[in-house]
Amino acid sequence: MENKTYEINYLITPLIPEDNVVAEVAVFRKIIEDNKGLVLGEDNVKMQRLSYAIKKFDNAYFGWFRFSVGTDAVDNIKKGFSKNEKVLRALITEVGKDNVAQFAPRNISGTAKTGDATSEIAEKVEIKPEQIDEKLEEILKKSSL
């Protein structure tokens, strides 16, 4: 079976002392590796203020892993994170070609190439307040006729 690339984002309880966070992250890495996953990348875990309380916590440690694994092992990895009482939330998403942001390169002529087609890019123009007033007066005169 072919491996796919996934990303897991997780929140862990803020009750863990800062010195022990690295050890907890090692436990999560081991869950992925025990399920024959290959960790491709990860971020340093950092304390984050939450938009809303989760299990009565307003803050939590946030981190993520990007890994490659067979599709049959994804559920086991999710269960491994969910069983850990220190995990508040965990979300696994597949990172496919469609999910990777691709930006069209800009060139000096003011167009961007997207595939075979070219599209116009709006040019930024500085407008003074006086110019706006003049244009408004012109429009109002035309509408009153």
In this structure, the answer to whether residues 41 and 67 fall within a common structural domain is yes
Tell me what pLDDT residue 105 has: 43
pTM of the full structure: 0.64
Q: Which residue has the higher pLDDT, 1 or 82?
A: 82
- Res. 145: pLDDT tops 80: no
Q: Would residue 72 count as lying in a domain?
A: yes
Give the tens place of pLDDT for each residue, 81-113: 999 999 999 999 998 765 444 443 444 444 444
Instruction: Label residue 142 by pLDDT band (50, 70, 90).
Output: confident
For position 75, which CATH number holds? Answer: 3.30.70.60
In this structure, the answer to whether residues 136 and 84 fall within a common structural domain is no
In this structure, the answer to whether residues 137 and 72 fall within a common structural domain is no
Q: How would DSSP label each residue in 53-105? A: EETTEEEEEEEEEEEEEEGGGHHHHHHHHHH-TTEEEEEEEE--GGGS---PP
Give the tens place of pLDDT for each residue, 58-86: 999 999 999 999 989 999 999 999 999 99
Q: At what angle do helices 21-34 and 74-83 cross, to 10 degrees?
A: 150
Percent of the chain with pLDDT over 70: 78
Count of C-beta atoms within a 10 Å radius of residue 19: 7
- The whole domain housing 17 covers 3-96
